[in-house]
Structure 1
């Protein structure tokens, strides 16, 4: 049986060889854009309200970036220095065709030895760590190469995930376990790696059922579809603390010689 890394590579190679339409990554359809981008917008909002978001001045690395949907989003959001990494060369070729301004890099998320420490202002992953056999190692590699912040958008460990979530993902003879995160796991992984009590860990829990919500919204006329989708998630907002998805931001402390002893400097929030 092959590993989750093989799953990611094999699945992307097959998808890229059979699909000829990637327009949902660059579409102007309001409903598609809302459903596709709402988690990313939530993560960037967390940074923005703390004065930590300067797209035109910051570099970004996307881990497990596939064909570059997140890269296209960041580029159109205002980021001018965006690198998309993935195991699949086929996926990265599609990425370059969608948005030529994006840099691409074949990369194993569990071992980014090619990248020096603190190379990118922002390092981001969306639905990628749970494909890895060692997802926490992938996360700590993100912490290592990030200069300011890490964004992790992954399934949340909780009652909802255990009841209705997928535990095993299969693609032919390739399989991986769907690793789910929560506040405790994120905190422990961050502090055990950084050895710093003052790193800022900001997990945000939310509902994410875009396939179901999209099908529901498309039953209505085009005029109402976006409003219906927004209304569904607005209704769920009061119970976001029970949601199936984690959108988390980890802000690294300022570089300081005392960092490794736990007496690191607090990040600048404005």
Structure 2
């Protein structure tokens, strides 16, 4: 299948996936439920913690979310305190839902492999579980590096033996198929070096376990007052084994 046809097929599939009548399926992005919010936000918070160690006033940065879907990451960052947040996606329907969740948030229709904005146009560029939907994930990553002026946060599956054995290999949305591309510290470092050469300050790759559905099912069976504590305990017990984890947060500072 030619690249243009593949991208178009995926775009059509996501327009169906994010059809207006499906809006309620994405309400977990705006919920105030403590357990859901913890599971939803913990990975983004790991990336922000790295940024805060190196920059004092990140909330003044302008942020672009790429492959942003209905805007979960953008909505979170806006509530976190970022003054300027833009959510982009290839699907018009997804961005309409985003604007229904928050009419004031900025949205842009952009292809993650070809971000139609100038170099260094956003201080921070973020993706969560989006690059592996692209036909060329590394191209999407280098586009983020091009557009970011100060930093990039990438949250994606980590290349691991366990992930390769029992993790999802192929995803299908409304008939459109994509390969679940997994990264590791070496592949992130090589891509950054190749694109930025020596023009960067830091590459930080955090590897950890992330099993949101499993943790939600286990903790969700407990009384409401105990659910958040239980989820934190589960992930706390996995901390010594993070070196074998299935997920990563990569932070690149320019």
Partner of 2:29: 25
Q: For residues 250 and 8 of structure 2, what CA distance do their matches in structure 1 show? A: 23
The whole-number CA distance in structure 2 between the counterparts of 1:148 and 1:46 is 13
The one of 194, 201, 204 equivalent to 1:202 is 204
Of 56, 71, 74 in structure 2, the residue corresponding to residue 71 of structure 1 is 74
The structure-2 alpha-carbon separation of the partners of 1:219 and 1:47, relative to structure 1 and needing over 3 Å to count, comes to same
SS at match of 2:38: helix
1:156 aligns with 2:142: no
Q: Residues 113 and 140 of structure 2 are in contact (CA less than 8 Å); yes or no, is this contact kept in structure 1?
A: yes
1:34 aligns with 2:42: no
1:92 to 92, 95, 99: 95
Question: Is the contact made by 2:16 and 2:174 (CA closer than 8 Å) also made in structure 1?
Answer: no
Q: Distance in 2 between matches of 1:171 and 1:61?
A: 24
**Compared with structure 1, are the counterparts of its residues 234 and 185 closer, same or farther at alpha carbon in structure 2 (3 Å cutoff)?**
same
Moved over 2 A (4+): 1-9, 11-18
Q: From the superposition, tell whether residues 172 and 106 of structure 1 become closer, same or farther in structure 2 (CA, over 3 Å).
A: closer
TM-score (norm 1): 0.88
Q: Distance in 2 between matches of 1:41 and 1:204?
A: 12
CA distance in structure 1 between the partners assigned to 2:28 and 2:179 by the alignment? 27
Distance 1:146 1:178 in 2: 24
**Distance in 2 between the 1:118 and 1:209 partners?**
34
Where does residue 245 of structure 2 map in the other structure? 243
Partner SS, residue 117 of structure 2: coil
Asked if structure 1 preserves the Cα contact closer than 8 Å seen for 2:89 and 2:108, the reply is yes
CA RMSD of aligned residues (A): 1.6
Unaligned runs of 5+ in 2: none
Deviations 1:73-116 (A, max 9, x none): 0000001100000000000000011112210000001111x211
Distance 2:177 2:136 in 1: 14
Secondary structure at 2:252 match in 1: strand
Which residue of 2 is the match for residue 130 of structure 1? Answer: 132
Residue 172 of structure 2 aligns to a residue in which SS?
strand
Q: What is the TM-score when the length of structure 2 is the normalising length?
A: 0.94
SS at match of 2:23: coil
Q: Aligned partners of 2:152, 2:41: CA distance in 1, in Å?
A: 17
Paired residue secondary structure (1:115):
coil
| Structure 2 CA distance for aligned equivalents of residues 121 and 115 of structure 1 | 13
* Distance in 2, Cα, partners of 1:209 & 1:187: 25
Question: Is 90-99 or 10-19 further displaced after alignment?
Answer: 10-19
1:65 aligns to what SS in structure 2? coil
Deviation, structure 1 residue 185:
0.4
Task: Flag the 1:44–1:138 CA change in 2: closer, same or farther, 3 A.
Answer: same
Aligned residue in 2 for 1:105: 108
Which whole-Å CA distance do the structure 2 matches of 1:235 and 1:219 have between them?
19
Query: Does structure 1 residue 48 correspond to structure 2 residue 76?
Result: no
| Equivalent in the alignment of 2:145 | 143
Assess if the C-alpha contact under 8 Å between 1:206 and 1:245 holds in 2: yes
Q: How many residues align?
A: 250
More helix by share: 2
Structure 1 unmatched ranges of 5 or more: 253-270
